[in-house]
Amino acid sequence: MINRVVVAMSGGVDSSVAAGILRDTGHEVVGIGLQLVDSLDSVGTERSCCGIGAMEDARRVAESLDIPFYVLNFKEAFKASVIDYFVSSYLKGETPNPCVPCNKVIKFEELLRVAKGLEARFLATGHYARVVHDRPDGRYQLKKGVDPDKDQSYFLYPLSQEQLAHAVFPVGEMTKKETRELAEGLGLKVHDKPESQDICFIDGCSYAEYIEDNNGSRFTPGPILDESGSVIGEHRGLPFYTVGQRRGLGLKIPKPMYVTAIDPESNSIYVAPHGHLKREDCVLLDRVNYIATTGPKMPVRVTARTRHRSPEVDAFLVPLDEGTAHVEFDEPQEPTAPGQSVVLYDRDTVVAGGVVKRRD
């Protein structure tokens, strides 16, 4: 049976190969590129992702694969669900993950709606992850990509069962090396295109500079306090800092200090030497999304990833009420910044994930 599949094409090698795989397995493929931001950054440089150059790369790939390709303007939705979230989170002293709402809202809500309007059965992306539907309870499972160095399941944990039912990740069974080799075999000029290493909508400036430009006002400096509550310096504004940061504090003391907490109410930052960092036995998660189950009633044994590149650690997932849970670590961990996502696994399967909530 031939299925129509919409492929979100960014002009990179992963989504390009995803389109090629689906074409070669007999699907009717429609490529769609998304214009999410203005093509030029604040200093007039062409953006590395989602700009005109990236869309032209995607268009050339589509021509090479002989599939239709369209570009949709999603700038308004992207600003509302991703950029505004990113800016407001930093202003509250949090450290957000903008890729998480981008995947959930932009790709698997907005673009999926377009795909359904085109009578496409599936929406495919170039994520290194897998979807499996082989359980007697009928639930879709989100699993890690087979390449441990490229696994992107961390960024997909908020997807609902309805979204997973329509999701296809063709490169999830491949390593990055295999993806590039297949792209070269398909004759795609993007086979050796460098990967984007930073947030796609920020080029040519720091996070704080970007937030300041979008906030429309200058940040307010405030005190940097040590463990005793003594003022030992002045910060430039909360968005310049995140929990665990060491560089850029501007302190005139001999030993290195690390940010341990950010208090937006008092506009203060707290620091301590590395050996005095208070390690966490537990974090509180908000906006918890369960994938492997409808929601456990009892604690569940898991491994926890507190950042995308962090190793998994043994823990218990302890459900509290709808949408909130504790993650209790077997061994105390370095502090996790409020706003960060923690994703919970059972081996290669995503059990659940949520956002770290600041404790009162």
| The one catalytic residue among 50, 99, 200, 205 | 200
| The one catalytic residue among 49, 50, 99, 102 | 102
> Does residue 102 have an active-site annotation?
yes
CB 29 within 8 A of CB 23: yes
**294-311 as b/e: b if 16+ CB within 10 A:** eeeeeebebbbbbbeeee
Among 268, 287, 270, residue whose Cα is nearest residue 340: 287
User: Which token pair is 273?
Assistant: 């030497």
Among 224, 205, 237, residue whose Cα is nearest residue 268: 224
User: Which token pair is 250?
Assistant: 């501007």
CB 119 within 8 A of CB 112: no
> How far lies 94's CA from each of 89, 126, 218, 224, 355, in Å?
5, 29, 18, 17, 10
> Does residue 49 have an active-site annotation?
no
Rg (C-alpha) for the chain, rounded Å, is 22
**124-157 as b/e: b if 16+ CB within 10 A:** bbbbbbbbeeeeeeebbbbbbbbbeebbbbbbbb
Give me the helix-helix angle, 13-24 and 176-185, nearest 10°.
60
Q: Where are the beta strands (DSSP E) in the chain?
A: 4-8, 28-35, 69-73, 122-124, 129-132, 141-144, 167-168, 222-225, 231-235, 257-263, 268-273, 280-290, 300-305, 313-321, 324-333, 341-346, 349-356
User: Which token pair is 30?
Assistant: 């429609």
CB 89 within 8 A of CB 339: yes
User: Which token pair is 186?
Assistant: 């398909």
Active-site residue set: 102, 200
